[in-house]
A and B are shown apart, each in its own frame.
Chain A
């Protein structure tokens, strides 16, 4: 993934060979001789330090070992799948994928399933798109990322981070939804129907959040549009569940999803046309 070869980027390699330190931790302290051998000559009661021992370098290697936290299995798996440690870290730090958010989403969807089973109302189908929309609006973007400006200058592009995070949130919600719909046996028509509106509402929320640079606005617009659609379905006489189940709506939903994705791609682009980037000096 990385195009920086170890020997090509002398982050801290310069001079390390002199004392035998390595880059990965404190292993080199003993191996280099400067640490172990040097200690025998150190007068700990005075301030004498052997000439070949650079205490600042020793400390940096010790600090690197002490401060560093090894990535968890999820991040390691993401590194393998995405082939990018940066994207993997961005993914596991996605706000809407943190445990609190996941639990809250699960509670809402479980409640929807329970109400659906008890009353026959398609509450789960109506809630799933809303949960996904809020999650994706908060997953990433100028509105929720305080370091947005800085992220625009990084090697791993902000658009890739956006794509990975949005896909992960949507995928998680879809997985939870699929499990939940398997439980709602009396609503076979709803089992997969909610996926299409969920896609549309999520994309709309993401586009709104990106354009307005506000996760709150993105969530609000997604929820408002979904609420409006549900109420319109009810007013048309088809009941609340119509918005999530009637195949007539699926084509417009997909059109909304495609349009919203186009908006996101446009607003996160780096212009390549015109004079600016195209000519060298």
Chain B
């Protein structure tokens, strides 16, 4: 990533055109539900959600609500983070429980389609079409997200620039490195300016400089949308997330701010960083 591209998210953040919650039109956009208790919008409502694969219960009764902001999902391998994210992305249905996304019911075909129009999703393992260029790939998914064709070129250009791939826009995907491909995946996720952005291990393969730029992007998107990010990297959570949940064996064993997670680790746990100590302290407590 060259320095010019690296500064793009920062410029966007300072730009007067950046999106703010006040730009939304709740009536026309049909987005989040406003919580009457605190005035906050709720884009994500999960109630006692479970998902079984045969006898194995990958997600075991998760309840969660989230409004605009960056929400981090932490947990060890097999904790159920990816399964939870796939349900939120409407890729797989839950085995039981209730779910509302962007104040819509994903069980209804029409509403599910509306959700998907406003959804951005980066799977853990995103396959690529090696013969496509970066722009062709992002454009392909923009069209399949039902974006108006007249807006696609600008949206694609903006998304590609936001992930710092402007200089590779016309490069075939087969020629890109793993980190670049990950950024292409992020570009397709944000191309439709999603109201709900789900990212599964988005920083895997990114170098530290790219991760810093990516966190800036996350914070910017989180100003108006709900961003759920599943990761193993606690430093991403500390730097970008306003709220964090820790999953273990299909359940949420902690939910709070990164500062609260750090506080859990004071005098306890193992780890090199405060968040890591909080992470391990909560897991230890949950398993004991």
A residues adjacent to B (C-beta < 8 A): 1-12, 14-16, 18, 23-25, 54, 56-57, 59-61, 63-65, 67-69, 79, 84-86, 88-90, 93, 145-157, 161, 270-272, 274-281
Q: Which residues of A contact B158 (CB under 8 A)?
A: 11-12, 60, 64
Q: Which residues of A contact B160 (CB under 8 A)?
A: 63, 67
Knowing A85-B149, A146-B128, A280-B98 are in contact, say whether A154-B144 is a contact too (CB < 8 A).
yes
Q: Which residues of A contact B136 (CB under 8 A)?
A: 69
Q: Which residues of A contact B128 (CB under 8 A)?
A: 146-147
Listed by A's residue number, 5 A-B pairs whose Cβ atoms lie within 8 Å are: A1-B146, A86-B143, A86-B145, A155-B144, A277-B107
Knowing A3-B146, A23-B154, A145-B127 are in contact, say whether A59-B161 is a contact too (CB < 8 A).
yes
The smallest beta-carbon distance between B216 and chain A, in angstroms, is: 14
CB closest chain-B residue, reference A6: B148
The reply on B231 being an interface residue by CB < 8 A is no
Contact A8 B28 (CB under 8 A): yes
Main secondary structure of the interface of B (DSSP, over half): mixed
The reply on B126 being an interface residue by CB < 8 A is yes
Given contacts A14-B17, A18-B16, A90-B140, 10 further A-B contacts (CB under 8 A): A3-B114, A4-B146, A11-B154, A64-B158, A150-B123, A153-B119, A155-B145, A276-B93, A277-B107, A277-B112
Total residues of chain B contacting the partner, CB 8 A: 72
The reply on B19 being an interface residue by CB < 8 A is yes
Q: Which residues of A contact B117 (CB under 8 A)?
A: 3-4, 155
Q: Which residues of B contact A161 (CB under 8 A)?
A: 144
Residues of B77-132 at the interface with A, using a CB-CB cut-off of 8 Å, are: 86, 89-91, 93-100, 105-108, 112-114, 116-117, 119, 121, 123, 125-129
Contact B146 A57 (CB under 8 A): no
Q: Which of the residues A4, A68, A279 comes within 8 Å of B153, measured between beta carbons?
A: A68
Knowing A60-B157, A275-B97, A276-B93 are in contact, say whether A68-B147 is a contact too (CB < 8 A).
no
Main secondary structure of the interface of A (DSSP, over half): loop
Q: Which residues of B contact A150 (CB under 8 A)?
A: 121, 123, 126-127, 141, 188
Contact B17 A93 (CB under 8 A): no
The smallest beta-carbon distance between A209 and chain B, in angstroms, is: 16
Contact B143 A276 (CB under 8 A): no
Contact B148 A68 (CB under 8 A): no
Q: Which residues of B contact A25 (CB under 8 A)?
A: 153-154
CB closest chain-A residue, reference B169: A67
Q: Which residues of A contact B23 (CB under 8 A)?
A: 10, 14
The smallest beta-carbon distance between B48 and chain A, in angstroms, is: 10
Contact A6 B123 (CB under 8 A): no
CA distance A155 to B112 in the complex (A): 8
The smallest beta-carbon distance between A96 and chain B, in angstroms, is: 14
Q: Which residues of A contact B89 (CB under 8 A)?
A: 152-153
CA distance A16 to B17 in the complex (A): 7
Q: Which residues of A contact B156 (CB under 8 A)?
A: 64, 67-68
Q: Which of the residues A23, A153, A272 comes within 8 Å of B116, measured between beta carbons?
A: A153
CB closest chain-A residue, reference B123: A149
The smallest beta-carbon distance between A52 and chain B, in angstroms, is: 10
Contact A56 B161 (CB under 8 A): yes
